[in-house]
């Protein structure tokens, strides 16, 4: 599928090339992966351990039920590509989407809770201070209103406009992730507003980036597969990495970079273990729940539900060791509806 918005970009490229303009097109979608990958810095913000008298311990999770308590699953995807360079300025296409699917009698199905958004991300002249090489609106009339300005200063003094292509690509990356978070939060809001009480909502990703009021008193959890933050010192972190399948850490409350407690409780859980794997994060996820006392008593039962969800295994997903099958199903569902790069990659 090629969207109408992508068709606008294709028409723009063909017209500019016909006129001999300086247009360059990246040859493969995969060549953009490194440009879009942010260099994450591990944060050591600390945390307050809420179990075992404040000492981080590891315990075995007992599975005392045959059925998971999750009936609803939320996942999102994002696709981003440098569509072309015009006068060496990157014009980026971004697509984000999210969905909540329900499982009934072991079958996944849509409830109509799905959203998507696509735009071009590029630097626009929107003030006299904007750099001279930014695009004017007149140059890009064929893009209609499907544009997001990534040419904005990041500081209050307004003097640090992104100037080089790499800075503009990273600005687009940030804007696309913000849009994805917005879509996922709006889906959570719709689910909560629907009053569903026949099962819990499993969110692929953080709850902390949702508002405190939104997730309060909700039967909702978030599961994080990528570990870009470190909350403990070496000894505790080594204990987490050394957990065996079916073990969890004690519950803790993370702190943000200002030292304030986040609005979630959290713990680590080991879904799979393979002594041949050299990756510390193999099979390791971090669970987030709303920061409410009732969840301290539910850490074991919620962990057991997640462990039950590991069968069947989410092959052939690249991170099958940290992904459950219903989330893989959501991901495949979203990908089936996403625009294809095929036509874009044939433009050379």
Is residue 173 within 8 Å of residue 165, measured between CB atoms? no
First-last CA distance in the chain: 19
323 lies in some domain = no
Residues 258 and 296 in one domain: yes
pTM of structure: 0.91
Residues 125 and 86 in one domain: yes
- Residue 42 has a pLDDT of 56
Nearest to 326 by CA among 247, 243, 223: 223
Question: Which range of residues forms the domain containing residue 54?
Answer: 40-69+199-311
Nearest to 12 by CA among 30, 26, 25, 1: 25
332 lies in some domain = no
Residues 289 and 260 in one domain: yes
319 lies in some domain = no
- Residue 277 has a pLDDT of 67
Residues 259 and 151 in one domain: no
Residues 82 and 59 in one domain: no
Residues 86 and 177 in one domain: yes
Beta bridge partners of 115: 98
Alpha helix ranges (H) inside 122-193: 165-193
333 lies in some domain = no
235 lies in some domain = yes
211 lies in some domain = yes
Residues 110 and 136 in one domain: yes
220 lies in some domain = yes
Give the separation between CA 70 and CA 57, rounded to whole angstroms: 27
The DSSP symbol for 87 reads: T
Mean pLDDT by 10 residues, the chain (348 residues): 78 89 76 57 78 96 95 96 92 96 96 95 92 91 86 82 94 95 96 93 93 91 92 94 96 91 96 82 96 96 97 86 96 92 61
159-166: long-range pairs with CB below 8 Å, 24+: 161/123, 161/129, 161/130, 161/131, 162/123, 163/131, 165/85, 165/88, 165/89, 165/90, 166/35
- Dihedral (CA of 179, 150, 45, 268) sign: positive
Nearest to 83 by CA among 97, 94, 98: 94
Residues 32 and 161 in one domain: yes
Residues 140 and 190 in one domain: yes
Residues 3 and 65 in one domain: no
107 lies in some domain = yes
- Residue 316 has a pLDDT of 82
**Token code pair at residue 144:** 């209609």
- Residue 304 has a pLDDT of 98
Residues 24 and 122 in one domain: yes
Residues 88 and 130 in one domain: yes
Give the separation between CA 110 and CA 327, rounded to whole angstroms: 13
Helices vs strands, H then E, count in the chain: 7, 15
Give the separation between CA 256 and CA 197, rounded to whole angstroms: 32
- What is the number of structural domains in the chain? 2
């Amino acid at each position: 599928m090629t969207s109408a918005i992508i068709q606008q970009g294709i028409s723009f490229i063909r017209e500019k090339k016909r006129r001999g303009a300086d247009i360059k097109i990246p040859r493969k979608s995969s060549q953009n992966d490194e440009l879009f990958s942010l260099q994450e810095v591990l944060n050591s913000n600390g945390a307050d351990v809420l179990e075992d008298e404040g000492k981080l311990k590891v315990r075995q999770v007992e599975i005392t039920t045959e059925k998971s308590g999750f009936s609803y699953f939320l996942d999102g995807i994002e696709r981003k590509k440098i569509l072309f360079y015009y006068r060496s300025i990157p014009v980026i296409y971004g697509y984000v989407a999210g969905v909540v699917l329900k499982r009934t009698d072991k079958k996944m199905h849509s409830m109509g809770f799905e959203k998507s958004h696509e735009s071009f991300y590029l630097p626009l002249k929107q003030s006299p201070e904007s750099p001279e090489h930014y695009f004017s609106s007149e140059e890009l009339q064929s893009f209609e209103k499907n544009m997001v300005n990534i040419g904005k200063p990041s500081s209050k003094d307004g003097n640090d406009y992104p100037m080089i292509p790499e800075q503009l690509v990273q600005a687009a990356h940030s804007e696309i992730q913000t849009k994805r978070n917005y879509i996922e939060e709006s889906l959570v809001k719709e689910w909560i507003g629907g009053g569903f009480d026949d099962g819990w909502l499993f969110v692929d990703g953080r709850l902390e980036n949702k508002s405190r009021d939104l997730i309060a008193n909700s039967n909702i959890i978030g599961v994080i597969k990528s570990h870009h933050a470190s909350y403990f010192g070496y000894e505790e972190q080594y204990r987490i990495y050394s957990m065996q399948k079916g073990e969890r850490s004690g519950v803790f409350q993370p702190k943000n970079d200002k030292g304030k407690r986040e609005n979630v409780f959290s713990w680590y859980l080991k879904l799979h273990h393979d002594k041949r794997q050299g990756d510390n994060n193999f099979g390791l996820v971090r669970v987030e729940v709303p920061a409410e006392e009732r969840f301290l008593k539910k850490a074991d039962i919620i962990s057991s539900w997640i462990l039950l969800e590991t069968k069947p295994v989410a092959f052939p997903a690249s991170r099958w060791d940290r992904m459950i099958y219903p989330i893989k199903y959501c991901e495949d569902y979203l990908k089936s509806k996403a625009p294809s790069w095929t036509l874009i990659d044939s433009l050379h």
